[in-house]
Amino acid sequence: MKDGPDIAFVAALIGDPARANMLAALMSGKALTATELAQEAGVLAQTASAHLAKLEQGGLVQPRKSGRHKYFTLAGHDVAAVLEALMGLAAGKGHPRSRIGPKDAEMRRARVCYDHLAGEMGVQMYRSLRANGVLTGSDLALTSYGKRFLREVGVDLENLPNSRAPMCRECLDWSMRQSHLAGRLGRALLQHFLDHGWAERLPDSRVVRFNSRGMQLFEQHFHIAEAEGRDSD
């Protein structure tokens, strides 16, 4: 028997169509009930409960209780990163999860990837932060200028929620095949856009829709620099 992590076990958990649909629904970052996940998977409630028990045992989802209700979320950022990468692989190999619909263009424009901004606007924001000297190096360190810039945008770096997640992390965008920003900063920026009225989440969707004011502010702060980049001091 070969030693090492059992990737076949994890792959089998994700590979079941019903469980894959449940996990994709949880990529919205929302906590969902077993009933809601049964609807996403197109299975009976009893079947959904059996699938969720397997996903929980495998460490891919975690339950959360609120009063009489039980909700499920992804077990962490590492699970979300694997799912986003698999979505990119499936899309690149011509295996779409569903038919292209009215929201497809909006999904590609701006959407939630677990807890941060993805799609064309997510990639633009990441490229801007790199090109304009906010982030530097392979470890995506914040520069002195970057800290000043984020204060100007309105992100309070000193009071970000405690988390084991890194401050900044690359996440491969499945529709753009380029990186967007994850980590605590990625989450804080998306939350800032939503809390300050730049954008809204569409109900029952991962789509993030920016209004005209939000688009103007986004382009103002996250344009792509024509030069090589700013001095990082």
Domain range list for the chain: 7-75, 101-221
Name residue, tokens 């890194």.
Answer: 166
**Per-residue confidence (pLDDT) for residue 9, from 0 to 100:** 93
Taking the C-alpha atoms of residue 179 and residue 96, their distance in angstroms, rounded to an integer, is 20
Compute CA distances 58 → 13, 66, 119, whole Å: 8, 23, 29
**Per-residue confidence (pLDDT) for residue 103, from 0 to 100:** 63
pLDDT digits (tens, 9 = 90+) for 98-145: 544 446 889 899 999 989 999 999 999 999 999 999 999 999 999 999
What mean pLDDT, rounded, does the chain reach? Answer: 88
Q: What is the fold, at CATH topology level, of the domain defined by 7-75?
A: Arc Repressor Mutant, subunit A (1.10.10)
pLDDT digits (tens, 9 = 90+) for 190-221: 999 999 999 999 988 889 999 999 999 999 99
